[in-house]
Amino acid sequence: MTEHERTATLSREVTVADTAAAWGADFPPAASTPFVLGLGEVACHQAVAGDLEEGEITVGTAARIEHLLPSKVGSQLTAHARLIAASGRRFEFEVEVFDGDELVARIAHTRAAVLRQRITDRL
């Protein structure tokens, strides 16, 4: 891996399918925590993708999320991921997710580099 700071930013609009209400009528029509986490996960992968070996991908191994505010359908959420530590095949990230200027989530996330073929073979 190179010595440059590894960051990535990814934005996506919240759709009805991305809401907690899509999981059941008891839940609000706001961006679901799984959606917010997924956005952060993809941003983390993108931050280190250029440093992976041929045939490698990253997979999530741990996450801690603080989902602080709701975001309505049509909101543009933006995840800013920053690599804070790397050890061998493991990567630790800090992620902040914004709805406009408002911080809606903080995520501490760990990913590991694996051979894509190993995953597909297990499937």
Q: Residue 26: which CATH number?
A: 3.10.129.10
Q: Does residue 17 belong to any structural domain of this protein?
A: yes
- pLDDT tens digits, one per residue of 51-102: 999 999 999 999 999 999 999 999 999 999 999 999 999 999 999 999 999 9
Q: What is the pLDDT of residue 54?
A: 96
Q: Does residue 80 belong to any structural domain of this protein?
A: yes
- pLDDT tens digits, one per residue of 37-59: 999 999 999 999 999 999 999 99
Give me the catalytic one of 19, 41, 45, 58: 41
Domain span including residue 82:
7-122
Question: Catalytic: 56?
Answer: no
- pLDDT tens digits, one per residue of 12-44: 999 999 999 999 999 999 999 999 999 999 999
The gap from C-alpha 85 to its chain's centroid, in whole angstroms, comes to 16
Q: Which residue type does 123 have?
A: L
Q: Does residue 2 belong to any structural domain of this protein?
A: no
Give me the catalytic one of 33, 56, 94, 96: 33
Pair 104, 98: CB distance under 8 Å: yes
Q: Does residue 113 belong to any structural domain of this protein?
A: yes
Question: Catalytic: 67?
Answer: yes
Give me the catalytic one of 45, 58, 67, 109: 67
Instruction: Count how many domains the chain has.
Output: 1
Pair 49, 58: CB distance under 8 Å: yes
Q: Does residue 1 belong to any structural domain of this protein?
A: no
Q: Does residue 64 belong to any structural domain of this protein?
A: yes
